[in-house]
Amino acid sequence: MRDFLPAEKARRERVLRVIRDSYRAHGFDEIETPVMEDSDRLHAGLGGDNEKLAFGVMKRALTRDDLQNAQTPLDLVDLGLRFDLTVPLARFYATHRAELPAVFRSIQIAPVWRAERPQKGRFRQFVQCDIDIIGEPGIAAEAELLTATLATVDALGLEGATIRVNDRRLLIGMLTAFGFAPGTHDSALITIDKLDKIGHDGVVAELREKRLDADRLETFFRRPQTMEWNPFGERAIRKALPDGADDDVVAQLVELGDAVGVDRLVFDPFLVRGMGYYTGPIFELAHPSVSYSLGGGGRYDGMIGRFLGSEVPATGFSLGFERLVDLVEVADAASADAVALVYERGTPLATLLDAQRALVARGMRVRLLARPKNLKPALEALKSDGFTKFTTDPATLELRGLD
């Protein structure tokens, strides 16, 4: 968990403002959910490995008997910090469904917590920027999500971003075609999800360690790689899969490409996404400047039904803000109006505040600064904080540039 100095905090807020404004422009509405959820909900088997990283909040008034009789640490907690924003959204929708439109488009921009091991690039508190569409069963929902996401990335100035696309149903069909028994699919997908980290040989070796027959998958990995999978479309999708891919699913992805733009999508037959709740199309945001994804999501039709008792279609996309913010630079639109009022010690407080109010009324951001013995370093510090002008005369408010 980190502290942010004023300049970095301001930079983060500028990026968040672009993301929020872009999402709202595409018809999404922002909501807010509590930072904690019931522990049983966070450990309902929907969050994959992230459930193991959830921070628990101990029950109040625990007794010695409670401690001695606990079988697992979870017996001692009743709440937990959210590890993502999707589980809270499912609970939110189940609670407020009667007050929401039939098709609900939500924005959530908020911190989440995971008990990660301290290491570079891994934080225990980080911000996620989610958009979700609940109530729309067709591929039109995915088309809206990806269009809004790409428009947001473009607004941030991150040129060349693409979205990798797959479908969990195609993954299951591929495993079936390779001879994996239904009971082994989850375990096999966990291993295949490591493809970027351990490579083809590592995936095959780990599958064999799990006593799974990976011979046909290994043969598929080693097929000639000269085929062109782009542009995104039916030919690319079918070339990337074994024979027998589900025609309806392929047709949906083709429709998605036609709607969003085939030049912005890439079909990846081994994209898995680790969350166990995905049921249909899945995606990850990629950029050529980095080897890791900048966000992702997918369809999770079964999750809300766990809380509501009836099935509700849902799909969502989450931007990884902490990774994204390091790659973009958003200009401070208000920096030209940031003014320092440098005053001599002994100046009447009423005079200073009157001058400040006058500048604020002109639409400026104003900071009061008692004149130091050496003014130059103070002015340099103001520049680094985004100030561009200053005045030393509260009476005339004559502005001078810091440059």
Q: Are residues 114 and 154 in the same domain?
A: yes
Query: Which residue in 223, 226, 222, 254 sits closest to 238, CA to CA?
Result: 254
User: Given pLDDT bands bounded at 50, 70 and 90, which one contains residue 211?
Assistant: confident
Which helix (H) or strand (E) segment holds residue 90: the answer is helix 86-96
Q: What length does the chain have?
A: 403
Residue 72 vs residue 390, higher pLDDT: 390
Give dist(CA 67, CA 104) in Å, integer. 43
Q: Are residues 255 and 386 in the same domain?
A: no
Helix axes of 168-177 and 247-260: crossing angle, nearest 10 degrees: 140
Q: Residues 155, 250: contact at Cβ < 8 Å?
A: no
Highest mean pLDDT among 189-193, 271-275, 377-381: 377-381
Q: Are residues 51 and 178 in the same domain?
A: yes
Asked if the structure places residue 280 within a domain, the reply is yes
Position 26 scores a pLDDT of 96
Query: Which residue in 47, 28, 27 sits closest to 37, CA to CA?
Result: 47
Position 115 scores a pLDDT of 87
Q: Residues 149, 131: contact at Cβ < 8 Å?
A: yes
Instruction: Sheet containing 265-267: give its strands across.
Output: 29-30, 104-113, 125-134, 314-320, 295-299, 281-286, 162-167, 265-267
Whether the predicted pLDDT of 227 surpasses 50: no
Helix (H, G, I), strand (E, B) or coil at 344: coil
Mean pLDDT of the chain: 87
From 57-66, 218-227, 364-373, the region with the lowest mean pLDDT: 218-227
Position 277 scores a pLDDT of 80
Asked if the structure places residue 209 within a domain, the reply is no
- What is the token pair recorded at 115? 């008990």
Q: Which residue has the tokens 């439109």?
A: 101
Whether the predicted pLDDT of 270 surpasses 50: yes
Q: Residues 167, 253: contact at Cβ < 8 Å?
A: yes
Position 306 scores a pLDDT of 80
Q: Can you give the residue range of the structural domain that contains 374? A: 335-401
Total domains in the fold of the chain = 2
Give dist(CA 351, CA 341) in Å, integer. 11
Tens of pLDDT, residues 306-357: 878 788 999 999 999 999 998 988 776 655 588 999 999 899 999 999 999 9
Highest mean pLDDT among 54-58, 266-270, 282-286: 282-286
99 DSSP 8-state letter: G
Query: Which residue in 56, 40, 113, 124 sits closest to 307, CA to CA?
Result: 40
Whether the predicted pLDDT of 226 surpasses 80: no
Burial of 327 (0-12, 13-18, 19+ CB in 10 A): middle
Whether the predicted pLDDT of 228 surpasses 60: no
122 DSSP 8-state letter: B
Asked if the structure places residue 208 within a domain, the reply is no
Q: Sort strands 104-113 and 29-30 into parallel, antiparallel or unpaired.
A: parallel
Give dist(CA 377, CA 392) in Å, integer. 16
Asked if the structure places residue 203 within a domain, the reply is no
Q: Are residues 395 and 320 in the same domain?
A: no
Tens of pLDDT, residues 114-131: 988 766 667 899 999 999
Position 206 scores a pLDDT of 82
Q: Are residues 182 and 282 in the same domain?
A: yes
Burial of 98 (0-12, 13-18, 19+ CB in 10 A): exposed
- What is the token pair recorded at 213? 């027959």
**For the chain, percent of residues with pLDDT exceeding 70:** 94
CATH number of the domain that 291 lies in?
3.30.930.10
Query: Which residue in 62, 60, 140 sits closest to 105, CA to CA?
Result: 140
Whether the predicted pLDDT of 151 surpasses 90: yes
Q: What is the dihedral of CA 163, 298, 147, 90, to 10 degrees?
A: -150
User: Given pLDDT bands bounded at 50, 70 and 90, which one contains residue 100?
Assistant: very high
Q: Are residues 133 and 180 in the same domain?
A: yes
Q: Are residues 252 and 276 in the same domain?
A: yes
User: Given pLDDT bands bounded at 50, 70 and 90, which one contains residue 273?
Assistant: confident
- The set of residues, in sequence order, having a beta carbon less than 8 Å from that of 344 and lying 6+ positions away, is 371
Query: Which residue in 263, 267, 212, 206 sits closest to 237, CA to CA?
Result: 267
Position 45 scores a pLDDT of 67
